[in-house]
Structure 1
């Protein structure tokens, strides 16, 4: 029988994260610090609202763009928290997680051959979604000596006349790096000068640990009309399985994204949308409690790795640390496989997040302090064998 599978799809490798954890899943007694998923339950009032919506029979389709009440709440929330004011009727779209927003955003923007500047290390979906949309991914390496921040000089070296979109992934997965308002200003000027469009992935906006609050690049001068802001409920509200995200941006772009969403998805899950309204209205305290606990875990893990002799940059966002393993003379995949086999601790090779992630490992601290302490002790025992 003829093979009907598209060769382009065949050429895209599976997620380096999932591929590695398929190995871990076959083993017993593994402490996994790999998956980027909060270990907190969704706040009870949010779950209760989802249950109540089912009891009231709220199980039909919503508008393609999402419940009006939810889009109104997103407008209130993002204005209150980040100073962003988008029209709920025309500039906000509810999606199936932030991942769908990335996908349909790129599909709505790119023409065949358009280049997308992708800072790396970064989330594994940007590159394949670019390829699936007909674009050409152009990695821009972020360096440890710059605290994994995006530098203008690196963008200048990568931009070409075919460049159309800049992915802006801060707070960053996997490095935990953030960009201050002043640092963003330099990037914003570069974007305007080169007439680029920005896809700003802000899914970890609530999870920052510096003295300065999160600032969206969309709020900087000249950036609102050339930025698509992506966010969601998975990380801050511990709602990964509810599969709910949103996009905010210019009406002209949101209109076309909604068409793709309409034909491919119809609408995001109705129950999740009702639950999310409650999350935005009444979960500030719960989100802050989770953020404080993540910060305690962050300090535990960073100090733990440094005490073992790892070079580890300070992560001020998300819930990951990205220590260097270069001194051990192993690739990141070799290190992770050997650690898993020797000590039953699973972490992610940095190479899963782009070539510039080689020589590092990603460790999530979205786990209990007890598990984190055990894992650090086991990693210490492992590296003792390498000396």
Structure 2
């Protein structure tokens, strides 16, 4: 029997919900491109419930304990005295989320003598030292595509919020004001602007598709060029690298995984090459942007706004400059953990566990590492190098 150690974020400060705003959510059975949604044999929760917090337990306790496994759930993940560190040495499986990541560093992996499977409940496994995972023969899997559309919707919301100066305008309404001039002095139309994405995978392409009706000029850069038919359909302009793209864009959205080639990509030098007064949106990973360079670019006016929901580390310290820098639209890492997304990534986690325990193959689209090397979607999207430390 296995010990499964699961790290999830804390329950709401008002307590675990007894009811919800909506009684149901749409049922998604497949994604654009033909990939099916997760298909476990069963689930033990109601779709639309809060599953990503400690009390939600990803809906896994009944299943795991009925099979005789030990299931430990905690939000305490920082430091040698944390529940995570104390429970890790004899854990067979670790489950974590990008929103509240339990960083599986090389040091932690070395102490986890029994660890054989690390599951990301969601998308993005950069909180795992993939090189160390390969050295120790640990399989790493994530629930690919489960929250891609959730993130793309969040990114479009942030683009509109920055360009239209929504958040400061809302604050005037809350404060009882009617300060129209204060609101509109930084408000523009998105129509006609040049918008580009760094990476046009599932999330980046979904953002491009959702922006096309706004009559903007669309650009992208990616390791892999999109099919000519897609470029023609969306009237896309391809750029060989981020530097050539950002020079012409009014809005740039980052949708690349974190790997050695993207770490600190948006540094002082690249930000200086952007159009003055451009907007930057980052729902990918915080370490793709140089923390202090972003703050300075907002203060100087090189950037007109920065919005994102990804930070490093996570959770971000209270004195993180992105909390207080001007013209920011930051949120905690929530874009991919809507209640709709939670249903899909909890279901996908259940599917991965069923495959593991029944010695059936895990889908290639869920695999990041297997047998000591990058595998499945991981071979397409990741490079191996330690990224779990500052």
Q: What's the TM-score bracket when you normalise by the shorter of the two chains? A: 0.3 to 0.5
The one of the two structures with greater contact order (alpha-carbon pairs below 8 A, sep at least 6) is 1
More helix as a share of residues: 1
Structure 1 length normalisation: TM-score? 0.33
